[in-house]
Amino acid sequence: MGDGSGERGELEDGAAVEARLTLALECTGLNLEPAEEAAVRRQLAGSRARAAALRRVPLANGDEPEIVFVPFRADGGEEDR
């Protein structure tokens, strides 16, 4: 993916924005007015820019996502305490 910098990045971003717009409209079945489509393009460009900003943070292979999964027990494990 492009990082949004430079002419090539802009071209890649433009193509990615159009692809994601097409996908979003197909997934939802929505028909948007031209002005609405333009607004969604701006949203998608912003989304790409945010992703590029996140990629500038150095991450190691072991830097896990901050997801907490708690195996469920209805009593919260109180019976074992």
Partner 1 sequence: MSRAAAEALTLPLAEIGRLLRAGETSPPALAEAALAGLATAGRALNAVAALLPERAAAEAGRAEAELRAGIDRGPLHGIPYGAKDLFAARGAPTTWGAAPFKDRVLDADAAVVEALAAAGAVLVAKLATVELAGGFGYNHPDAAWTGPGRNARDPERWAGGSSSGSGSAVAAGLVPFALGSETWGSITNPACLNGVVGFRPTYGLVSRRGAMALSWTMDKIGPLARTADDCRSVLVAIAGADPEDPTTLLARPIQPDERRSGFRFAVLRGATEGVELEVATNFRASVDLLSAFGDIEEIDLPDLPYDEAAAVVIQAEAAAAFEEFIASGAARRLTAPEDRYGLLDGLTLPAVDYLRALRVRRVAGRALDATLVPFDAVVAPTQPKVAPPLAEQFDSFAEGSETRSLGAAGNLCGLPAATVPNGAGRLGLPTGLELMGRAGSDGTVLAAAAAFERALADRDGAERGGGSSQGGRRHESG
User: Contact residues for partner 1 (CB under 8 A)?
Assistant: 20-21, 23-25, 27-30, 32, 36, 39-40, 43-44, 46-47, 49-51, 53-57, 59, 63-68, 70, 72-76
Instruction: Please identify, using beta-carbon distances, which residue of 7 and 54 lies nearer to partner 1.
Output: 54
18 — phi, psi (to 5°)? Answer: -65, -40
From the CB of 74, what's the least distance to partner 1, in Å? Answer: 6
DSSP letter, residue 33? -
At closest approach, how far in Å is the CB of 6 from partner 1? 20
Give residue 79's identity as a one-letter amino acid code: E
**Rg for the chain (alpha carbons), in Å?**
20
